[in-house]
Amino acid sequence: MANTSQPLRRTALLASGAALLGLLTACGSESAASSGTPQPSQAARTAGTAPDSGSATPGDSAPAVDATPTDTAGSASASARTDGRCHTSELRATVGRVDPGAGQRNFPVVLTNTSDRTCTVYGYPGAAFVDASGKQLGPDPERAPGSPETLTLTPGKSAWAGLSFSSPQISGARTATPAALLVTPPDEREPLKVKWTAGEVPVGGNESSVSVTALDAGTGP
């Protein structure tokens, strides 16, 4: 009778070895999964996560952008309504009461914004005494030393300049009685005509100069 025990034992040992190898392989796979080591798919998922420091990484999402539209057209329109030089047609000129002192006659010449927009004035107004026919009497006034500033006039607000000359009774200058004072706003060509009711003014001879100051806010001292 043939001895079959040895082949059977070899077969059993091979089967046991295969089972043991399968068990070790399974344990190894479970250990790798439980260790927390990122697998390729997991690493791809976490590449775009920003670190706690707040610094950007190549995978970070783009920063949020405020998509609220800006009304640039409206801003430009508002600027056009509220900025820019005051034009002659937007102003009214008046001459205030005389303020005498130390042989001088001083008058506030007032420019008032009569428009419905805010505008600005800067510098010295022009001034000229004229007779009833419009002919100028005497030379142009001299500009008094000063530091002009840009003045913003909202509707109804005013700026003023001082118009001064030596009293003709004291200076002995040649005089004339104007019919009007022409006031030209800064940087404008067209004057405003104001009726002159303050009597004679110097138009020639010694001490006949007239001076005007830079514009200041308000209606006078």
Percent of the chain with pLDDT strictly greater than 70: 62
For residue 28, report the phi and psi dihedrals to the nearest 5 degrees: -65, -40
Q: How confident is the model at residue 23 (pLDDT cuts 50, 70, 90)?
A: very low
**Residue 80 in tokens:** 């056009």
pLDDT in tens, 199-217: 999 998 766 789 999 999 9
pLDDT in tens, 156-203: 999 999 999 999 888 888 999 999 999 999 999 999 999 999 999 999
**Residue 178 in tokens:** 């104007």
Any residues with CB less than 8 A from the CB of 132 and at least 6 apart, and which? 179
Residue type, 4: T
CA angle 130, 132, 134 (to 5 degrees): 50
**Residue 148 in tokens:** 């002009």
pLDDT in tens, 43-84: 333 333 333 333 333 444 444 434 434 444 444 333 444 469
Task: Tell me if residue 4 falls in helix, strand or coil.
Answer: coil
Question: What is the spatial distance between Cα 119 and Cα 216, in angstroms, rounded to a whole number?
Answer: 15
- Closest by CA to 87, choosing from 161, 157, 192, is 192
Mean of all residue pLDDT scores within the chain: 74
